[in-house]
Structure 1
């Protein structure tokens, strides 16, 4: 539930709950309540008091982002409406607040319940991490970099990989903004992804975005060679459903891109054929199942600064058509995450035929990254690495 809407519901619930105290006051003879003209017996006064406590508690739990707020909300709406029905002529307006609570409960179910994209993402993550082969007991050495082009080897070296465990999986959390075209409005988002590497790699990406103040759920799934991309508005209305060979190819490019940016150490074992081009460019040909994709990597002062591929076609808003266009992801602002050094900012750019038409459609900021997370533990298992922000001088 988005911040503005969440706080609106919180205010309504707390106010609605406190109003129930009027029924309790009349039922227990605490005070004269002229607004309630119908008699209220002490037993019904207890119902009004219980409703007040539970509805206010619901608002407090929702304000605190407690995941179990819906339990109190379900109980509260039932008790509250029962109390209202006993004094319908005086209290019927309170039904509107209960309808708002019901709507909030319904949204929570469709956005977090077992049929939601969020729940599907969590199930897929659990399965992917359970199957990932741990490599945390194998430490990277300089000898492991010998087969890589020097530009790639230096990128891996500068990432802090040497002397650290190899990576078989990762979980990253990001935030930023995204848009559908050069003239579309930007949507803010937070995202989480889990990648696994091995014979059948996977990339699972969950995005929680906002469009016109309405929530948008996005789920990218690549398991082995097969990929899908689905989008829902308000967790209910399908907006896009992309699948097929073009989507498989596009997500394979993204998997290659993630290797270079988020997990340089995994380039050591990745199925990539490298071709040095000049002093600052290397071409990589990456194979995943039936898909083989190519990208040109640009380096500056030992750091990767751009990734360009012609194999990641742009997708229409409904996911039904794909258009060939060069795609690039310039990255910058390298910072330290624990023992690792990674780019913390990046963009996704489309390059149509006319150079003046190229535009940025995706911006991201890397918040945390976890290497070799444990499937049996909670969401932030493994070694969580957070960016070290430089201290400003006093």
Structure 2
């Protein structure tokens, strides 16, 4: 019996290692196409942006720092489904901005069982695979509609923890009232829009989009990420905490709480 338990534990560990290796392989391949320059963000670079966005980039401290090509972010937090309890998670993700790519790997404890999830947004495709015990798929989605949803997520990342990447010709801006802007982000043939809201100090306080689909209900539902805390990370003043909210017709539902632990920009494949 003891030998059997040891064998099962070893097999589960191997399964987890193999699953995470897929993520690391994609990360390594994505870095091969990255060219990091030492170009610095200047006042002229942000001059064409709406005033609230200019103020945001000045507030976070992007002026005078290098232009961003890649980002690696570490999060911890909680997630839940409707009618179910919260579960804790940690995540590691890599974003590549020249060729929009988002590789997000999550480790969680769901009802006492180790669970891993991999969101892959790369080369015009998007998928989400979640495995219980790193073996049994409980969510496996790769429909074409997933790409638009994950494009919103990718753009949300840019706004929240890589705001220097908002200096991008693929974004069309429109200034609105009440210190808000509308942004339309284009990735190939797919375009998504969001309303960005700012406070008087220049901080972005919310991101609202109607272009995401809730995979649990398979409905197009308004989505937002209100920021709950700011702080300094590696020389940037960034949102440290934000909620993830679905705005269902019957009421708002907070399904995620994200806490930024670390972010690094312009890493190289050897870092």
TM surpasses 0.5:
yes
Q: Deviations over 1:245-273 (max 9, x none)?
A: 21000000001100100111010125110
Instruction: State the match for 2:4 in structure 1.
Output: 99
1:308 is the counterpart of 2:208:
yes
Aligned partners of 1:184 and 1:147: how far apart in 2?
A: 46
Report if the CA contact (8 A) 2:195-2:207 is conserved.
yes
Give the length in aligned residue pairs. Answer: 270
Offset, 1:128: 1.0
For 1:63-212, list aligned pairs within 5 A: 96-113=1-18, 116=19, 118-135=20-37, 137-181=38-82, 183-198=83-98, 200-212=99-111
| CA 296–234 in structure 1, closer or farther in 2 if over 3 Å, else same | same
Deviates most, 338-347 or 247-256: 338-347
Instruction: State the match for 1:353 in structure 2.
Output: 249
For residue 339 of structure 1, the aligned residue among 214, 228, 235 is 235
Instruction: State the match for 1:59 in structure 2.
Output: none
Runs (4+) off by over 6 Å? none
Aligned partners of 1:333 and 1:153: how far apart in 2?
A: 20
Q: Deviations over 1:131-158 (max 9, x none)?
A: 12213x0011111001100001111111
Aligned partners of 2:146 and 2:169: how far apart in 1?
A: 21
For residue 328 of structure 1, the aligned residue among 224, 231, 243 is 224
Q: Deviations over 1:217-275 (max 9, x none)?
A: 11000013211111111011111111222100000000110010011101012511000
Instruction: State the match for 1:48 in structure 2.
Output: none
Aligned partners of 2:16 and 2:41: how far apart in 1?
A: 41
Instruction: State the match for 1:282 in structure 2.
Output: 181
Report if the CA contact (8 A) 2:208-2:223 is conserved.
yes
Aligned partners of 1:190 and 1:184: how far apart in 2?
A: 19
1:227 is the counterpart of 2:123:
no
Offset, 1:215: 1.1
Report if the CA contact (8 A) 2:234-2:263 is conserved.
no
Report if the CA contact (8 A) 2:234-2:264 is conserved.
no
Report if the CA contact (8 A) 1:224-1:288 is conserved.
no
Offset, 1:109: 0.6
Aligned partners of 2:181 and 2:150: how far apart in 1?
A: 21
| CA 295–266 in structure 1, closer or farther in 2 if over 3 Å, else same | same
Offset, 1:97: 2.2
Offset, 1:289: 1.2
Offset, 1:159: 1.1
Higher relative contact order (CA 8 A, sep 6+): 2
Structure 1 runs not aligned, ≥5 long: 1-95, 382-394
Structure 2 runs not aligned, ≥5 long: none
| Higher Rg of the two aligned structures | 1
Q: TM-score scaled to structure 2, two decimals?
A: 0.97
Q: TM-score scaled to structure 1, two decimals?
A: 0.67
In proportion to residue count, which structure has more strand? 2
Report if the CA contact (8 A) 1:160-1:340 is conserved.
yes
Offset, 1:374: 1.1
In proportion to residue count, which structure has more helix? 1
